Chains A and B, each alone.
Chain A
Amino acid sequence: QQQVKQSPQSLIVQKGGISIINCAYENTAFDYFPWYQQFPGKGPALLIAIRPDVSEKKEGRFTISFNKSAKQFSLHIMDSQPGDSATYFCAASDAGGTSYGKLTFGQGTILTVHP
Chain B
Amino acid sequence: GAVVSQHPSRVICKSGTSVKIECRSLDFQATTMFWYRQFPKQSLMLMATSNEGSKATYEQGVEKDKFLINHASLTLSTLTVTSAHPEDSSFYICSARGRPVTKDTQYFGPGTRLTVL
Q: Of A13-21, A42-50, A53-61, A64-72, which stretch is located at the interface?
A: A42-50
Greatest chain B CB density within 10 A among A42, A43, A106 is at A43
Interface string of B72-101 (1 = CB under 8 A from A): 000000000000000000010101010000
Contact A46 B111 (CB under 8 A): no
Decide if A46 touches B104 in the complex (CB within 8 Å).
no
Contact across chains for B43 and A89 when beta carbons are under 8 A apart: yes
Interface size on A, residues (CB 8 A): 24
Q: Is B117 an interface residue (CB 8 A)?
A: no
Are B43 and A106 in contact (CB-based, < 8 A)?
A: yes
- Specify the main secondary structure of chain A where it touches its partner: loop
Q: In the complex the two chains form, is B49's CB within 8 Å of A89's CB?
A: no
- B113 sits at the interface (CB 8 A): yes
Contact between B108 and A36, CB atoms less than 8 A apart: yes
Given A44-B44, A44-B93, A101 and B104 touching (CB < 8 A)? yes
Pick from B49, B91, B108, B111: contact of A102, CB below 8 A.
Answer: B49
Contact check, A102 vs B34: say whether CB atoms are below 8 A apart: yes
B106 at the interface (CB under 8 A from A): yes
- In the complex the two chains form, is A42's CB within 8 Å of B110's CB? yes
Residues in A lying within 8 Å of B, measured CB to CB: 32, 34, 36, 41-46, 49, 89, 93, 95-96, 99-103, 105-108, 110
